[in-house]
Amino acid sequence: MDEYLEKLLTGLGSGDGLAKKRARETLVLVGDQAVPRLHALLAGSDKSVRWEAAKALGAVIDPGSVDAFLKLLDDPSSDLRWLAATGLIELGPRSVRPVLRSLTDPSVPRGHLEMSHRVLGELATGNDVLAGIVRPVVEMLGRNDRGVIAATAARALSDFDRATGRPPDPDAAPVTGG
């Protein structure tokens, strides 16, 4: 399997668009076995290969990809950020807490904020409890005050933990007000 997997991964860098697509679609079928190698490709310098790897990971829908997608939200390429956001949306509500946690850092890039807006907005659709928790964050993401965004995200993270019965996150920024 290792040799076959390597061939498929190499195919993501092919100059032939159809070959790339076939390699990506086959990697999706391979599933879990391909995930760690696809994660590794996200850190490469070839944007086209990173795009193919992100597209494949989004289709595999592996919960272990949350951190990889969060890192990709910081990518300078808007189409890679879009694929990362799509992957987080496909992973469903399990993405909410990590996205909120990432937003407690006031230094996250603008593109990360924009795609977090998309992720949280999509995931809150149809879930009134979640919508109530993330609505203030979604509203703040439209502004450019990162300190307020971080504080609002910390408050939402605390509300999310309380709603889901989790103990408070000891590493989260302190929540003030209420």
42, 60, 78: which is the final residue of a domain?
60
Residue 177 confidence class, pLDDT cut points 50, 70, 90? very low
The verdict on 55 and 69 lying in the same domain is no
Report the C-alpha gap between 100 and 65 in whole angstroms: 16
Contact present, 24 and 55 (Cβ < 8 Å)? yes
DSSP state of 65: G
Asked whether residue 176 carries a pLDDT value surpassing 70, the answer given is no
Contact present, 54 and 42 (Cβ < 8 Å)? yes
**Mean pLDDT computed over 46-61:** 94
The verdict on 131 and 166 lying in the same domain is yes
The verdict on 30 and 116 lying in the same domain is no
Contact present, 62 and 92 (Cβ < 8 Å)? no
Instruction: Count the domains in the chain.
Output: 2
78: Cα within 13 Å, side-chain hemisphere? 3
28, 44, 60: which is the final residue of a domain?
60
Asked whether residue 20 carries a pLDDT value surpassing 60, the answer given is yes
CATH number at residue 15: 1.25.10.10
**Which one has a higher pLDDT value, 144 or 128?**
128
The verdict on 53 and 73 lying in the same domain is no
**Mean pLDDT computed over 28-54:** 95
The verdict on 72 and 127 lying in the same domain is yes
Report the C-alpha gap between 141 and 78 in whole angstroms: 17
**Integer angstrom CA distances of residue 33 from 29, 94, 164:** 10, 21, 31
The verdict on 166 and 109 lying in the same domain is yes
60, 77, 95: which is the final residue of a domain?
60
The verdict on 110 and 52 lying in the same domain is no
Residue 178 confidence class, pLDDT cut points 50, 70, 90? very low
Give the model's pLDDT for residue 166.
87
Number of H-type helices and E-type strands within the chain = 10, 0
- For the stretch 63-107, pLDDT in tens is 999 999 999 999 999 999 999 999 999 999 999 999 999 999 999
The verdict on 174 and 139 lying in the same domain is yes
Residue 1 belongs to domain spanning: 1-60
Instruction: Look up the pTM and report it.
Output: 0.87
Report the C-alpha gap between 128 and 143 in whole angstroms: 23
The verdict on 83 and 105 lying in the same domain is yes
The verdict on 159 and 93 lying in the same domain is yes
